[in-house]
A = this chain, B = another copy of it.
Amino acid sequence: MTSYAAVVGPGGAGANDAAELLTLAEQVGRGLAGHGVIVVTGGLDGVMAAACRGASSVGGITVGLLPGDVRGAGNQWLSVALPTGLGELRNGLLVRAVDVVVAVGGSWGTLSEVALAVRTGTPVIGLRFWSITGDGVDPTAVLEVQSASAAVDAALGAIRR
């Protein structure tokens, strides 16, 4: 059966390492799609668009679950652009729709997706993702990797388990 991976990350360019994040996200999208994985994102710009661009460059299928009501808000590399009108509630829908979540960079929206994924048992791979510490945090909940290729390998491994 076809597998599905979410690539999540900041939509904007606020971070210091924004350009590097986009390169990483594009590599992750390309790597996943190269293995036949459908790439699902929030459909907008930044990391979302970069992952779609990468997946699209090797002929992969990309799906965007847009927060608003307008299809045209989706980035240009989406095979399928679905306006949900759910606002940030679409983050939870995105997590549900996939077999694994890859977070590239951090943002509060990204954090909500990672938290929901861990909560519901969907595997999460983190690449330049934020750190979470505190009483009861399982340090293995997010599998931290250091490169795009390692993120792809870890995602494929999580899907196969």
Interface set of A (CB-CB < 8 Å, partner B): 1-2, 4, 10, 14-17, 38, 40, 61, 63, 69, 71-72, 79-89, 91-93, 96-97, 105-109, 111-112, 115-116, 118-120, 128-137, 141
A130 touches B128 (CB 8 A): no
B130 touches A116 (CB 8 A): no
Q: Which residues of B contact A112 (CB under 8 A)?
A: 92, 112, 115-116, 119
Q: Which residues of B contact A79 (CB under 8 A)?
A: 61, 80
7 residue pairs of the A-B complex, CB under 8 angstroms, read A88-B92, A89-B89, A92-B112, A105-B136, A106-B135, A111-B111, A112-B112
A109 touches B115 (CB 8 A): yes
- Return the contact of A84 from the options B61, B80, B93, B115 (Cβ within 8 A): B93
Q: Which residue of B lies closest to A14 (CB)?
A: B136
